[in-house]
Amino acid sequence: MEALLVLEDGRSFRGQSFGATGERVGEVVFNTGMTGYQEILSDPSYCGQLVIMTAPHIGNTGVNDFDPESWRPQVAGFIVRFHSEHYSSWRARGSLSQLLRDHQIVAISEIDTRALTRHIRSAGAMRGIISTEDDHVERLAARARAAPPMIGQDLTRLVTCEEPYHWTEGSSAFKVTCAARQTTGMPQTPGTPILHVVAYDFGLKRTILRRLVDHGCRVTVVPATTTAADVLQRQPDGVFYSNGPGDPAAAEYALEPLRALIGRVPVFGICLGHQLMGLALGGRTFKLPFGHHGTNHPVRHLHSGRVEITSQNHGFAVDADTLPAEVEVTHINLNDQTVEGLRHRSLPAFSVQYHPEAGPGPHDATYLFADFVDMMREHTRV
């Protein structure tokens, strides 16, 4: 079946549908990762977005039960150069196209993703529409322009959990052999956690939860609208502010709890959690031209001078010039010099814009989870 992608500026691309039929509107962004398409599809931070994969061959390892970052694909639509219906992997449980159809995700292949990516890089991220139902470019472009822009959108309420829950599974649960998977399933993570972390779910990735468990934490996940009083009643050793979609400035309800918690317990934020940290400490955020989406972004740790290759997925950034004197910038992006990390100079609170959990991506920044644990242990001794 044919499909048509149209951007709000009228640029169009005709290709083939390999997902669900229908029509989806969203912000069009590109991801430069060579691997990890299932993690990308299921990352809640992509809610409301049509994601282009710049790697040309997608789907050739199928989909499995181990890699999803949430319970279902979260993207509004998926855009690739070549889609492989045939897959080969001992972990695979099915095809990518079947997964997309099962969850009503519209997808398009056989288009020039290089030309599309270059256009987005020059013109900036913009609204677009994928349709298998209408082939009229001007009508589709008008519908794309009528959709709300990403600025001002609070999307965290669409992806957060409805009720608190406990997470106990670490990364070791996924280091299983083919035989073990077929006979006994995934083994339980051994060991007894010693630190209690309350994690706000603004679109929380499962790999982050596994990393916290790996570092000896007992994790309670709470909805995005949870109050500081409710969190403190749980007597946490630390609080985690998660990644998530949308405009951080639109999630005002998340700022009051964060301001109340900073100074009471150690706080660590990633991605949207980092942006919320910047806002709660007095800074401002702004929309990036086309965002950072991929697994190969260089970041400099300013204190050590070390360069980390990082996994990133965000469309907004903290404005360094608006941060108060008591907040220190700790990391910068070497591509565009934007803020990639910050910390309070006297209170136990820090955050990073990128994804140290590496799901998918490199493991250069995994040490940040150990830093959070050390901060919590130091705070409990005091």
- Yes or no: say if 210 and 169 are a contact pair by the CB < 8 Å rule: yes
**Sequence letter at residue 205:** K
Name the token pair of 129: 């529409």
Nearest one of 29, 16, 125, 13 to 75, comparing CA atoms: 29
For the question of residue 355 being annotated catalytic, the response is: yes
Which one of the listed residues 47, 215, 271, 274 is annotated catalytic? 271
Which residues are paired to 46 by β-bridges? none
Alpha helices in the chain (DSSP H): 37-41, 96-102, 113-123, 137-146, 156-159, 178-183, 206-214, 228-233, 255-261, 272-280, 367-381
Nearest one of 137, 170, 153, 138 to 48, comparing CA atoms: 153
- Enclosing H/E stretch for 312: strand 307-318
Angle at 96 between CA 91 and CA 101, to 5 degrees: 135
For the question of residue 378 being annotated catalytic, the response is: no
Which one of the listed residues 274, 297, 344, 355 is annotated catalytic? 355
- Crossing angle of helices 206-214/367-381, nearest 10°? 60
Q: DSSP assignment of 170-215, as one string? A: -GGGG---HHHHHHT-SPPPPS---EEEEEEESS--HHHHHHHHHT
For the question of residue 217 being annotated catalytic, the response is: no
Which one of the listed residues 8, 69, 308, 357 is annotated catalytic? 357
Q: What is the C-alpha separation between 5 and 137, in angstroms, rounded?
A: 9
Report the catalytic residues.
Answer: 271, 355, 357
